[in-house]
Amino acid sequence: MQSIGQNDLRISKFDFPKKVMYNIKEALQTKETLDVSSGTGSSGIAARAVESLKRLGYITIENVQTFTVVEKGKRIIKLVITVKKTADFAKLYKEHEE
């Protein structure tokens, strides 16, 4: 997993959903919104982590986009999920850390 921009978090196919959930929560400590970006191999991991955080009340899903980019003659399919932290984010984060 790597950060690719100020508000972007890139998910790798080698990441685990719980690790992604943790990294999203850490990134949202200082940001209101975050773009969670993944390729085809990691799209399931990204979707599972985002959906779990939504179900737990940490975030809302603002936008979901898929698009194809051609780089060096190869098609690369990307999924970008824009998430926004909820008003209860800080309270839930603090309760979970205790």
List, in sequence order, the alpha helices (H) in 1-98. 17-27, 43-55, 89-97
CB 44 within 8 A of CB 70: no
Query: What is the model's pLDDT at position 2?
Result: 43
**Model confidence pLDDT, tens digit, residues 29-79:** 999 999 999 999 999 999 999 999 999 999 999 999 999 989 899 999 999
CB 47 within 8 A of CB 55: no
The angle at the Cα of 14, spanning 13 to 16, to the nearest 5 degrees, equals 100
- Sheet with 2-5, side-by-side order of all strands: 2-5, 8-10, 33-38, 74-85, 59-71
- Helix, strand, or coil (residue 96): helix
What is the reported pTM? 0.87
